Amino acid sequence: MHIKLSKMNRIVAFLITLLLASGSVQLFAQASGSEKKGDSDPALSRSYLYLAGYYRADLKLSDRQMDSIRLYTKKASKMAKRATAGEVNSFERKVLKGILSEGQLEDLYVNKNIPEARLLAQKIWNEMISLGYVGRSDSVRLYQQVRSHLHTLLVARDYYAESPELQKKYLEELSERAPACLYRYYHNGERRPAANNYYRADFLY
């Protein structure tokens, strides 16, 4: 399994590494509304600023960074009364890019999308069972591959949210590296050509 990284920038290499490491989850084509977020779980908040504070310890934020986050959280709250959710999200992402280091921003997007990806993976896995793309007896490892792939797409979606053309390019590129069962899900049952397989388990499908 060889992936050429020479033509990819640092964040794409980071995303590919995350994808192959098997860990988290979500699908960009359905990311905007496929799962309802429960108010009872703060980790499912749509506010990037709120989540930066929520994951303060994991991100190792300084007191100065937290002061800035609190200040802009108030501004975002006022902005939400007259702006769309998309506009508020864009404002928060741009603000955080100036407050957080590159590594902290990456970690925020990774942490933010873990619970979202878990929910979406459960939904898509059940749909793939009903479509016959996977069986209930399929391995936990395959499920983890699917969940990890979906999580990677969500991280990429957030990272490139302010650059739509780059976002589309890298999401499509990552989608071509989906596990075979998920590739079929993306392509309405069409199997991936054997020459383009990236997963050893593809022969099962």
Residue 56 has pLDDT above 50, yes or no: yes
- CB-CB contact of 109 with 52 (8 Å): no
- CB-CB contact of 118 with 97 (8 Å): no
DSSP 87: H
Residue 21 pLDDT grade (very low, low, confident, very high; cuts 50, 70, 90)? very low
pLDDT digits (tens, 9 = 90+) for 136-155: 777 888 999 999 999 999 99
pLDDT digits (tens, 9 = 90+) for 162-188: 999 999 998 888 888 899 999 888 887
Say how far apart CA 138 and CA 78 lie, in whole Å.
48
- Across residues 108-135, what is the average pLDDT? 93
- Portion of the chain with pLDDT greater than 70, in percent: 74
Question: CA geometry: angle at 13 spanning 104 and 19, to 5°?
Answer: 85
Residue 36 pLDDT grade (very low, low, confident, very high; cuts 50, 70, 90)? very low
Assign 141 to helix, strand or coil. helix
